[in-house]
Structure 1
């Protein structure tokens, strides 16, 4: 799938590079974007990501000695928190990304995205895991560190694959004349 969009007017092309361009020009530029976009993109993204995450995190919790029932509940609770964080974080990330003059998603931008997302989720889940599993914050942090390593790689790979399958979001597409 092409990562560039042909646009017929210079005003639309400049809308992606200039934060001072009118909202009408930005809307026109977004309308020219290819691939899955907007709320549909976020819903499909979160649904696929979290379904896989619930299954894998339940298995990881059980593999490190937690009861299946506790593992499943924690995985679902973590998923609900992650969905809320995912929607918020990705909205803000794409808003920031749209204001950048360099378009596309480089490896560095993908790494920054993964670190930002996973760092935020870890800050929320460590206290919850300590309470739910009745373990110390240190034990929960160690447990989260293991999950973090897995989810950092998973988030990076999932985002890359999702963008390849569904196209880049409008915020990351380079617009040309």
Structure 2
């Protein structure tokens, strides 16, 4: 399991890199001033940072309960990214509509566009983060193949 310090580092790095990418891309794509998209991005990042910590903590606990470890398969990473973004979508859409003075449909389309970007970004970021800062193996979990993030023993040996 990751430490609280590691989870905070992960969340902060995720948001900083995301802001540097999404602000100019969002301004260019949607035709709103960069400062307005910046406010949306920073507000969204603030909400997302708290959600990131809580969601990852809960997801890792669920993985550990289900699998005995927190190593994520490709399928688990896809589910992780999608569930994270769906929760965030529900909170951010009204904020976007209110701040930009746009209708809920336009806010929804913008939010979905941001979410689609962040699904791919979350998948890639967490993959690289896990490689750069591997989580220690869970107690009693057996050997872990750091290259592939899973138990190296064949399933028949488990």
Question: What TM-score comes out, normalization by structure 1 length?
Answer: 0.73
Matched, 1:38 2:3: yes
Partner of 2:101: 134
Q: Which has more radius of gyration?
A: 1
**What is the aligned counterpart of 2:128 among 161, 167, 174?**
161
Match of 2:56 in 1: 90
- Partner of residue 48 from structure 1, selected from 6, 10, 13: 13
Aligned equivalents of 1:170 and 1:135: distance in 2? 47
Structure 1 residues 94-113: aligned runs within 5 Å: 94-101=60-67, 103=69, 104-113=71-80
Q: Structure 1 residue 60: deviation in Å?
A: 2.4
Aligned-residue CA RMSD (Å): 2.0
Relative to 1, partners in 2 of residues 1:164 and 1:150: Cα closer, same or farther, differing over 3 Å? same
Superposed, 1:6-25 pairs within 5 Å as none
Number of residue-to-residue matches in the alignment: 141
Correspondences of 1:74-85 after superposition (within 5 Å): 74-85=40-51
- CA–CA distance in 2 between the matches of 1:75 and 1:165? 26
The 3-state SS of whatever aligns with 1:135 is coil
Higher relative contact order (CA 8 A, sep 6+): 1
Q: Name the SS of the counterpart of 2:67 in structure 1.
A: coil
Q: Provide runs of 4+ in structure 1 moved above 6 Å.
A: none
Mind listing any 5+ residue stretches in structure 2 that lack a counterpart? Answer: 144-158
Q: How far apart are the structure 2 equivalents of 1:38 and 1:170?
A: 12
